[in-house]
Amino acid sequence: MTERTSNILPEAFQERIRQQFQAEADQFFEALNCPAATSIRINPRKFKKPTAGLETIPWSTHGFFLNERPIFTLDPLLHAGAYYVQEASSMFLEQAFRLTRSGEQAVVLDLCGAPGGKSTHLLSLLSDKDLLVSNEVIRSRAVILDENIRKWGHSNVVITSNDPRNFGNLASLFDVIVVDAPCSGEGLFRRDVNAMNQWSVENTNLCATRQRRILADVWPALKPGGYLIYSTCTFNPGENEENLQWLSETFDVESIRIPLAPEWPVSEYEKDGLFAYRFLPHRVKGEGFFLTIVHKAGEKAPYSFPKKFKKRLERLPKQADQLKQWVAPDLFDFFLAGELAVAFPSPHEQLLGELYDNLNLISFGLPLAQIKKNDFIPEHALALACDLNSNPFPTVELSLEQALAFLKKEEIRIARTEKGWILVCYQGQPLGFVKNLGTRANNYYPKEWRIRMNLGEEINLPWHQML
């Protein structure tokens, strides 16, 4: 064991790891002294660059390792939602989720969604006919979740901020529930010193108790015949294997075995017909991760909607009909939430009403524009949407320097004579809107999203332009 490990890792943690992994413990500790790998997951609906030069993450269709960690903040394509910086082990969610697919329309809940890695991953795995409800109980983190989902650009999503117990009012609604539970964070020790400093035996016990409360609260919302995927970023058996055992003893479930390719260095746990999957730092090129999937007993049945909604969503007024041309109008229903015009996928209008009645919604569907009397101010989310119809908007391609200035919310010069709303892009990907007034162009990039770091005198090319 190196000096770094012995000086930093809590003694009680070291003792437990030696009991858990015995002969492998020294390898485990040594791995925690190695630099963490850098990995990304590309957005297949946006990222158009070649990936032949990148090392693939074997359990993820669109996951890749980078040779070194660039300054991601200085890459406009990150802000455009063309890819997401995500830890490689956690992308194993894809293998579990694919086992839930039946070809039928699905409603999926990501219960602990922030900051958005698993939600954006799920959106890439879902079809346009499916719906994702992405939830985060802490409001400040829900705002970050909303930002990352908006950048990803999918419209078949509802973002909420609710305690798990609130979903009990939606009995048997969801086909799949993903619970990436708040945990002691042992799997992040290599890259997060705060996780180490905050660790204690008492906290791991508290986390395990809280995780069971979360699972019990949300369980009624899962349909009979549905699937629950449970994961953590810790090695602690009390938060992992023992919680799986508790699930099997408390509810009528079947543990599902996930097929593994022989070359994957994933550790399979099996006991009494229960299966789970561990990612250990000395075996995988990734951080610590635990995942299991269970099937709820019973036959699926359609959700029973109430005859009347307690609240009504207001329809888009006729004077705003032109906004419908900013997307494919036959795919959406259109609503007015205060002064905000929103497009929402047509197959799920009734479901939206049910969510609207029972949950605290942060946003839903695709925000189109703020309506100020007869003036329509396009939403930034529209610029980043995969469903955007860009034909109504003149477009301008920006250089790297111009794009970064735009993302800092600085004034940029536009080489267009048309006055009005212009869509600015970088390497073909929309970044947002400016309003060209002739003498200048007002930058409508969201103030709260702007780049705050000093760019320096020399700006290096993003990693994808150097492949």
**Average pLDDT of the residues of the chain:** 94
For CA atoms 22, 24, 26, 30, give the dihedral sign: negative
Average pLDDT (88-107) is 97
According to the model, what pLDDT value does residue 221 have?
Answer: 98
Question: Exposed (0-12), middle (13-18) or buried (19+): which is 340, by Cβ within 10 Å?
Answer: middle
Q: Spell out the residues 6+ positions from residue 304 whose beta carbon is closer than 8 angstroms to its own.
A: 172
Stated pTM of the model:
0.96
Token readout for 148 is 């990352």
For residues 81 and 153, is the Cβ–Cβ distance under 8 A? yes
What is the distance between the alpha carbons of residues 97 and 79, in angstroms, rounded to a whole number? 27
For residues 79 and 46, is the Cβ–Cβ distance under 8 A? no
pLDDT band, very low/low/confident/very high, at 218 (cuts 50, 70, 90): very high
pLDDT band, very low/low/confident/very high, at 311 (cuts 50, 70, 90): low
What is the distance between the alpha carbons of residues 82 and 226, in angstroms, rounded to a whole number? 31
Q: What is the gyration radius of the CA atoms in the chain, in angstroms?
A: 23
Q: Spell out the residues 6+ positions from residue 372 whose beta carbon is closer than 8 angstroms to its own.
A: 339
pLDDT per position as a tens digit, 100-158: 999 999 999 999 999 999 999 999 999 999 999 999 999 999 999 999 999 999 999 99
What is the distance between the alpha carbons of residues 179 and 36, in angstroms, rounded to a whole number? 25
The secondary structure of residue 319, as a DSSP letter, is: G
The secondary structure of residue 36, as a DSSP letter, is: P
According to the model, what pLDDT value does residue 8 have?
Answer: 84
Average pLDDT (39-48) is 97
Residue 216 has pLDDT above 80, yes or no: yes
Q: What are phi and psi of 26, to 5 degrees?
A: -65, -40
pLDDT per position as a tens digit, 53-80: 899 999 999 999 999 999 999 999 999 9
Q: Cβ of 172: how many Cβ atoms within 10 Å?
A: 19
For residues 431 and 382, is the Cβ–Cβ distance under 8 A? no
Domains and CATH numbers, the chain: 90-304 (3.40.50.150), 311-388 (3.10.450.720)
Q: Spell out the residues 6+ positions from residue 277 whose beta carbon is closer than 8 angstroms to its own.
A: 92, 258, 260, 266, 267, 268, 269, 290, 291, 292
Least confident of 114-128, 246-260, 444-458: 444-458
